[in-house]
Every structure is written in structure tokens, then in C-alpha cells.
Chain A
Amino acid sequence: GQQLNQSPQSMFIQEGEDVSMNCTSSSIFNTWLWYKQDPGEGPVLLIALYKAGELTSNGRLTAQFGITRKDSFLNISASIPSDVGIYFCAGPFYNTNAGKSTFGDGTTLTVKP
């Protein structure tokens, strides 16, 4: 099946540092989604991207939809302890039906106070 390659798998950073993670695919996406999952809870939508080249911010988070439609990155600036969690990229592929999304394997973020 089609896959998303998400990296890095995990990150250990100091509070206040900036974070960057990305997803790539061999297939074209028509939407890129970024979610955060806290332990024992469901994923929460952070940012949704709909156009190639689109750059969108949500507070300290910034995400971009790659020009080739095959990649996206998520940046977190000035990290704080509550940023800890697992971040997933996801998206429906171009011309897919049923609105199904495929998820990356996640980036586990640990922030040291």
C-alpha cells in the first residue's frame, strides 16, 4: 500500500528549542494533515493544508504543503513541556475515494524542562 515516511522517529530537546519534523511520500497528496496525540487519548488536529506551497501557522506551530505535493513539514518554535506527545502526519492521496487518510508512523517528542 501507499506509505508516508515520517522523520525523525523521536526527538529529545530542551525547553525553548525549535523543532522540525517532516513527512514524505512517493504519491501525490491533495491534503496534508498534522495531528498531535497525548498518551491515552485520540489525535487532535493541529493544522490542515490544502494547496501546494501553502504555509499555515497555528500559534507556535507552522506547517507547509510541499510544492511537489509529496511532502510536508511541521515546525514548533520555542518548545514548552506541554508540547510532549506523538505528532502524526496524515493525508488522503490524490484521487482517493472515501476520504480515507494514511498516517505516518509518528514523531515522539520529549521536552526537557
Chain B
Amino acid sequence: GAVVSQHPSRVICKSGTSVKIECRSLDFQATTMFWYRQFPKQSLMLMATSNEGSKATYEQGVEKDKFLINHASLTLSTLTVTSAHPEDSSFYICSARTEETRNQPQHFGDGTRLSIL
């Protein structure tokens, strides 16, 4: 159980393009989803927390107009990188957790490798 699917796994596109990444919880209802960014050989950096039906909470220094998050249902959250530039190239990972029982851990998707040319 606790499977999280992330799509696409890899994106290569030109500078100025907007890219949408989907995160789905396949076998549980995700009351909360998280979006992370990871640079090579570094830890996961939390970008934002999203709860179903409400606006995402962004971490300090993350541009909300640049990284649009939508959590329209209990099984789907999307991250859109708007007008992407080479410095946005990174590994983006989502995670999801349920609050149906207390202290449930996050379960992660397999990540999306974004490369902006």
C-alpha cells in the first residue's frame, strides 16, 4: 500500500516553456501533499505543502507565481513550473500522506528530472 505515482519521470524542454508535473496517490487519500526540490548530492528541500481544496503554503524563498501548485482532489496534486529557465533544472519530488490516522509518514513519488535548455 501507500503508492505515490509521479509523472512525467523526465522532461527536457526549451527555456520559457511551462512544465506541469503530476503527483497521484494510488491507494490512499492524500490529505496533504508536499513538493520538494533536490540538487545533486544534496538533501530534499521542501518547496511547498498543499492540502486538498486550499491554497498551498510555500516555504520561504520559493516564488509562488513561479511554482504553481494545485491540489484539486484527495488523490492528485500538480506542480507547474512557469516560464522555466535553466536555473530551474533540478529533480522535483512529491510526497503524500494521509491524516486518517495520526503520525502517518510521507510516501514519495519517483521524482521528475527537469532539464531546461
Interface residues of A (CB under 8 A from B): 30-31, 33, 35, 40-45, 48, 50, 88, 90, 92, 98-106, 108
> Complex Cα distance A106/B97, Å?
21
CB–CB B49/A31 < 8 A:
no
5 contacts across the A-B interface (CB closer than 8 A): A42-B95, A92-B103, A98-B57, A104-B43, A105-B43
| Extra A-B contacts (9), CB below 8 Å, given A42-B109, A44-B108 | A30-B103, A31-B103, A40-B111, A40-B113, A98-B51, A100-B34, A101-B105, A102-B46, A105-B42
CB–CB B43/A42 < 8 A:
no
Count of chain A to chain B residue pairs whose CB atoms are closer than 8 Å in the complex: 57
Interface residues of B in 94-109 (CB under 8 A from A): 95, 97, 99, 103-109
Q: How close is A65's CB to chain B, nearest CB, in angstroms?
A: 12
Given contacts A30-B103, A33-B105, A103-B43, contact A98 B49 (CB under 8 A): yes
CB–CB B49/A42 < 8 A:
no
B84 at the interface (CB under 8 A from A): no
